[in-house]
Amino acid sequence: MYTTRMTALIAGLLLVAGFLPACRSTYNASPADADEVASEGSMVFVRPGRYSVIGTRNIRAHIEVIYEKTKKNEVGMPVVEFGLRNKGSTVWWDVKAGDLALSAKVEFYETPLDQTGPTGPPRFDSGWQTIPIRVGETSHHSVTSPVKDAPYYRVTISKVK
């Protein structure tokens, strides 16, 4: 009798332990802190932004923005140029850091982005572009807006799943 109960208890615990990794938490959407948004600048990193118990899984820990600049080309169109470098692992226990596949898009606006973000829709959106980047490699990118009167921009970078 005792052995049967113990076996059933162990089987139940193993079953529950097997389902736990498949569970995901959900979070209520809440507005971002205005000070945090104001400090972001024109380059924003999104997904994944998870932190593990030891180390980070955030792409900011692996990607370094080498440069970011804006200019106008010969015909007066705004051009955004940026360079990204894959630093690889930043801590000795992170053995999974390696080559990354990123997505990036640039949105151009007529009005400056204030502390709460854009005040209107973008005049031009480049769409998501895939950026494969190897460890130690620097990747250079340039996006030109076909709209002359949209000098303000935001670059959004995400990790491809």
Q: What is the dihedral of CA 89, 81, 115, 150, to 10 degrees?
A: -160
* Residue pLDDT, tens place only, 69-124: 999 999 999 999 999 988 877 666 666 667 888 889 999 999 888 777 777 889 99
Supply the pLDDT for residue 95.
Answer: 63
pTM here is 0.65
Write b or e for each residue in 41-70: b if 16 or more Cβ atoms lie within 10 A of its Cβ, otherwise e.
ebbebeeeeeeeeebbebbebbbeeeebeb
Supply the pLDDT for residue 87.
Answer: 84
Supply the pLDDT for residue 26.
Answer: 47
Supply the pLDDT for residue 74.
Answer: 93
Supply the pLDDT for residue 27.
Answer: 47
- Whether residue 56 contacts residue 45, with contact meaning beta carbons closer than 8 Å, is answered with no
Supply the pLDDT for residue 39.
Answer: 57
Does the pLDDT value for residue 154 go beyond 60?
yes
List beta partners, residue 152. Answer: 109
- CA 115 to CA 78: how far, in whole Å? 23
41: alpha, beta or left? (left if phi > 0; alpha if psi -120 to 50): left
* Residue pLDDT, tens place only, 11-62: 777 666 655 555 444 444 555 566 665 555 666 766 555 545 555 556 777 7
Supply the pLDDT for residue 125.
Answer: 93
- Whether residue 155 contacts residue 42, with contact meaning beta carbons closer than 8 Å, is answered with yes
Supply the pLDDT for residue 41.
Answer: 61
What's the average model confidence in pLDDT over 4-14? 75
Length of the chain: 161
* Residue pLDDT, tens place only, 121-143: 899 999 999 988 888 889 999 99
Residues whose CB falls within 8 Å of the CB of residue 57, separated by 6 or more in sequence, listed in order: 48, 50, 51
